[in-house]
A and B are shown apart, each in its own frame.
Chain A
Amino acid sequence: MTIGNLSPTRFRLPFWQRLADWAPTGISIIFGYAVLFILYFPIAMLMILSFSGEPNTGIPGDWTLTWYESVIFADTAQREGEAYGSNFRVGDPLLLSIMLAFITAVACVIAVLIVGPILPRIKWRGPFLVGFLMPLMIPGIVGGVGLFMWYRLVIHVKMGIWSLVLAHFVWAFPFALLAMLVVASRFDTRLMEAAEDLGAKPWQRFWQIEIPILKPGIYAAGFFGFLLSFNELPFSIFMRSGQDTLPLYLWIQSGAHNTTVPLIFAMSTIVTVGSIGLTFLAIKLAFGGGKNDVK
């Protein structure tokens, strides 16, 4: 059986042969969505439980909105002496995380455009690759400590927002680079040569040939830069001063002597709903109506 051979005059194959034809596809679809179900079941349950009075037991019921009140109106909903502290002020950390994620995404895209297209074409790819992927090979928190000690003790620079940006960039860049390399390694260099022969200037070649073809890589790099920075914890633990990102804030709150799980459920539901809308929009705009049919 060959691909695309669907001549209308073909006689109908026996059932088992049609099944064998469709089976691989079917199995991959079923397994894939099964794993997605495993991924989403806890998230869905979490969203349901965020409305229930006793989320820790895992059984929904006792519907209430108190957790949402505590999360959204943290500064004003002060109930004196209540065990569930309305100390859970996620507004600032959330804002900072989103902000940093955008900055990291932009930085990753720029960096990846510098490094990505060139890397598949040079001779000594290996050392460069190892160097750029270095942050992946060291456990995150140790890397954070190392960078912190270096900048603080050797170069004597105080930590701040810049160090958070650096930490997020250091973590996200290798991934963004890999994503771009996936696309850049398919780049046909003869196009560049042809363009040069036709008299295109270097800048024109870059903008009108490279970028359009590398577009999926750019989007992937930006995507991963954003997502990886949003949830980044180990590197940020030491590379910060004063402001906390959302993962940092949640990590610190986990050391509390009062339960924060219901509040985390409520907050996660809000984040999930927000991100569904955002992601849908972003993907639709990025990839448009057709799929990545670059060629």
Chain B
Amino acid sequence: MKSDKGKHSKHFYFPLTRRNFIRGAVAGSVIAGAPAILKGLTRRVKAAEKGVVRMLMTAPTMIPGDWKRFEKDTGLKMEDTVIKDDPGIFLTEVQVNDAGDRFDIISTLSGTEQSLIDGGNIMQMEASAMPNWSGMPASIQSMPYLVRDLSPDAGKVWGVPLAMNADSFGYKPSTLGEPRPPEEASWSLVFESEKTMGRSSTGDNYIYLWEALAYLKHTGQLNVTDILNPSPEEAKATADFLIKRKEAGQFRLFWKIFDDQIAVMKNGEVDAIRCWEPAVNEVNKAGGDWVYATAKEFYCKWMHGMYITSQVEERGNLDEVYTALNWFLSGGYAAAITPLRGYLNGRPDLAVDYNNSNGLEDISTTMDAAQEKMKLKFAKEDFWFSAVPDNLQEMQAQMDRVLNA
């Protein structure tokens, strides 16, 4: 027997070969992995490299492929890192883990600005340093989250928009016998409808509790003082409503990620779902008959903003950063993100010219439709979403209560 041979050997029980193999495996893995570690180490050691802009961004605003267009247009190199946009994780990374040491631009959901300003993590921007800024609609320029306590006349802002959208929900008009956009459909299809009993869905986050709150406000079921900052009592009342609907069997599930939405839409599990706009496009590509609603009551308007970290001042690459930011406000980024996801950046009007002058496909129909949509949807008053409302933790806790029920 093989093991017998080892037993009678003088020193070691098991043949040397196996231990050598393991030693070799360890050594080999160290050698194999060394490049990865070294790359990681050197990436951090370089402080401010000329011609490189480092950006910390979140997944919704990422565009596919390398940053070839960016590099061609600006002559700068972009090093991007993606992170989750959960406020807890993003803010901890920036404020406790000193992301500012490693990044020049950070980008996340709007509403986070106040926390970043309080923490001294971002610096004020000169609006005039970005040529594309002046062409933006005044309503966006003076958006409260971006301007905060600064007077807009002073020409300074805390952040510039990266991408924005007005979210509603998706539904199947033929199955439900509901009108198609641009005719309006009601949010009740998601929250409170016999037609979609057991076949509707929304997300598992405080964002979706907020929407339920807006729904209750517009159907007169709840008195809401300030929709931009729901109070704990309002959150609790909304949660009670959602729990009642959940127990009545309204919701099939509460989805967590994008792929959940696509899966249940494609598999026929739901007829109405509060989802992100790209989901509808994607499911329709596979032969579905979904539409994204022109909502009757309200939209969840969100924006991702870009901010300059305060450490950029010491590093001294401010002009490069402004060039980079200007690109995101230009036709280049617009032409990348709008046909892809339907989201708009600060200057969608520049997209068609950009594509035409660069010999790329003509996207005038897409851009026109998108801009029309935005004008229509953004006109509705409610509500601008903030990633960090005053009672963020309460709201999420109430949503957890709903999930727990």
Residue of A nearest to B68 (CB): A78
- A256 with B60: CB separation less than 8 A: yes
* Complex CA–CA separation, A149 to B95 (angstroms): 12
A96 touches B64 (CB 8 A): no
Of B22-30, B171-179, B320-328, the stretch lying at the interface with chain A is B22-30
Contact partner of B262 (CB less than 8 A), chosen from A56, A75, A286, is A56
The answer to whether A212 touches B14 (Cβ under 8 A) is: yes
CB <8 Å contact, B278 and A257: yes
A80–B36 CB distance below 8 A: no
Looking at A29-37, A189-197, A258-266, the stretch in contact with chain B turns out to be A258-266
Given contacts A212-B13, A212-B14, A242-B43, contact A99 B98 (CB under 8 A): no
Which B residues are in CB contact (< 8 Å) with A149? 96
Please list the residues of chain A having a beta carbon within 8 angstroms of any beta carbon in chain B. Answer: 54, 56-58, 75, 78-87, 92, 95-96, 98-99, 102, 106, 148-149, 152-153, 158-161, 207-208, 212, 215, 237-238, 241-243, 251-261, 285-286, 288-290, 293
Contact of B259 among A83, A237, A254 (CB under 8 A): A254
Ordered by A's residue number, 23 sampled pairs between the chains whose C-beta atoms are within 8 Å are A56-B262, A56-B263, A57-B267, A78-B66, A87-B65, A99-B29, A99-B32, A99-B37, A106-B26, A159-B97, A208-B12, A241-B102, A242-B81, A255-B59, A255-B60, A255-B85, A257-B258, A258-B258, A258-B282, A259-B262, A285-B21, A288-B14, A289-B1
- Give Cα A243–Cα B32 distance, bound, in whole angstroms: 16
Contact B65 A251 (CB under 8 A): no
Determine the distance from Cα of A225 to Cα of B41 in the docked complex, in whole angstroms. Answer: 24
Assuming the contacts A78-B65, A255-B257, asked whether A98 and B59 have C-beta atoms less than 8 A apart, the reply is: no
CB-based nearest B residue for A78: B65
Say yes or no for B50: interface residue by CB 8 A criterion.
Answer: no
Contact A259 B29 (CB under 8 A): no
Residue of B nearest to A106 (CB): B26
Cβ–Cβ < 8 Å partners of B40 in chain A: 96, 161, 242-243
B24-64 contact mask (Cβ, 8 Å, vs A): 1 or 0: 01100110110111011101100000000000001110111
Partner of B1, one of A153, A208, A290: A290
Q: A85-B65, A258-B341 are in contact. List 10 more A-B contacts (CB 8 A).
A: A56-B259, A57-B286, A96-B36, A98-B33, A208-B13, A242-B81, A252-B59, A256-B59, A257-B59, A289-B2
B18 beta carbon closer than 8 Å to chain A: yes
CB < 8 Å: which of A92, A96, A259, A285 contacts B18? A285
Q: Is the CB of A99 within 8 A of B13?
A: no
Give the Cβ gap from A206 to chain B, nearest Cβ, in Å: 13
Q: Name the distance in Å between B227's Cβ and chain A's nearest Cβ.
A: 25
Measured as residues with beta carbon below 8 angstroms from the partner, the interface class of chain B is 35 or more
Taking the closest CB of chain A, its distance from the CB of B63, in whole angstroms, is 7
Q: Which residues of B contact A (CB under 8 A)?
A: 1-3, 11-14, 18, 21, 25-26, 29-30, 32-33, 35-37, 39-41, 43-44, 58-60, 62-66, 68, 81-85, 89, 92, 96-98, 102, 257-259, 262-263, 266-267, 276, 278, 281-282, 285-286, 336, 339-341, 360-361
* CB <8 Å contact, B259 and A260: yes
Query: Could you tell me the distance between the alpha carbons of A242 and B102 in the complex, rounded to whole angstroms?
Result: 8
Give which listed residue, B30, B36, B257, B285, contacts A92 with CB less than 8 A: B36
Task: Looking at the assembled complex, report how far the CB atom of A139 sits from the nearest CB atom of chain B, in whole angstroms.
Answer: 14
The docked-state distance in angstroms from the alpha carbon of A96 to that of B39 is 11
* With A85-B63, A87-B62, A102-B25: A288-B32 Cβ-Cβ less than 8 Å: no
For A57, list chain B residues within 8 Å (CB): 266-267, 286
Q: A243-B40, A261-B259 are in contact. Are A86 and B85 (CB under 8 A)?
A: no
Task: Name A222's closest neighbour in chain B (CB-CB).
Answer: B22
Inter-chain contact A158/B98, CB cutoff 8 Å: yes
Q: Are B64 and A95 in contact (CB under 8 A)?
A: no
Known: A208-B12, A242-B102. A161 touches B64 (CB 8 A): no
Q: Which residue of B lies closest to A288 (CB)?
A: B2
